[in-house]
Structure 1
Amino acid sequence: MDLKEAIELVKQELKAPRFEHTLRVIETSGVLAKRFKESTEKAKLAAALHDYAKNWPVEDLKTYLVNNHLSNDLLTYHSELWHGPVASHVMENEYGITDSDVLQAIAHHTTGRAGMTNIEKIVYLADYIEPGRDIPGIDEVRAASEQSLDYACWLVARNTLNYLIQKKVTIHPDSFHAYNDLTRTIHTEGLLNGNE
């Protein structure tokens, strides 16, 4: 599947505001991929497909997760986390996408995970900083994204955890694993001094 086909596919699935968000994530992913010397083709394709199942009814997402034996523990967390794994599974099994970078980026764009590839990090970050977003602290993340993919992703993970903790909701373990993994990485790279 090429980018044009992916865009046409998701246009049929998404409400207009979500489709516009997707176009901005594609553009932002392309910029980040070029900046950090990764495949713009992979990053843009994953970005195009990341929210494929976002507008599915919750019951349809739940049925898909159960019928396809996807991670049962997902059902114990907020339904906002379900669309990524569902979209990844659909792309692999119904549309024949086999590139693990693309599939993992789609699956984990909401939670992140430990051991993310750079393509995963790019889509995770682009989804957060695309120009239509207005989130507290986003300017800091956008500025960081000019210099360091790892540090910018660490800020996303930190901000997301802080937000969810303040909301007093359950948090998927992958989000903690992403934060811990990125924290180790940026310590190793000398990007964090412990005073953050």
Structure 2
Amino acid sequence: IGFVTSTEAESHSPDDEWLYRLTVCDSVWMARIGQASGTEATIHLGNIPNTGDSEIPPHTLPVTFGVKSQGVYCHVYRSGIWYFGQGDDPARLVDGRWPGMEAQTPLVYGNSIVALIDSGENKSEFYLFDGGNATKFGESDSFWTWIIAHTGEKLILYRGVTESDAPVEYWPYPENGRLDVYNMIKPQD
């Protein structure tokens, strides 16, 4: 499993106590379940870097493992997509967000992960992530795009559309859509 650890930040107001306690993500870890005795079950992948002008590391969400399960891809709030790999320094791959993380299951393609990244302004970009490397191979003109599958050469997408067949804006959620096919680049051997 991939997870982040956090420390509890100081509350500056007693009125905040009834809400929730602010936590600060500080590092990314991976735990190998069911390992043989004598092997290291919990592996520290790296500390979350400070980004921007804040001294506090940003909120971080683990999204998926790398293909070889040697690291974890994370969405670091206001800093984009990062890779935390075993034995490597954390690497910032791309700007943007990993939208619909609970619904977007990344697909394995060769030794890479196919990722759909929200680049803002109702656009999405397609990437192949291979460890600390990112290769952009396309764009979509709709924020409401989901990767359904790939055939090895084609990427099958579901795109939300309006009744006029134009790409939908962020809201409202699209009530209808269509399947699109996108040509993929070949993964490198």
TM-score, normalization by structure 2: 0.29
Higher helix share: 1
TM-score, normalization by structure 1: 0.28
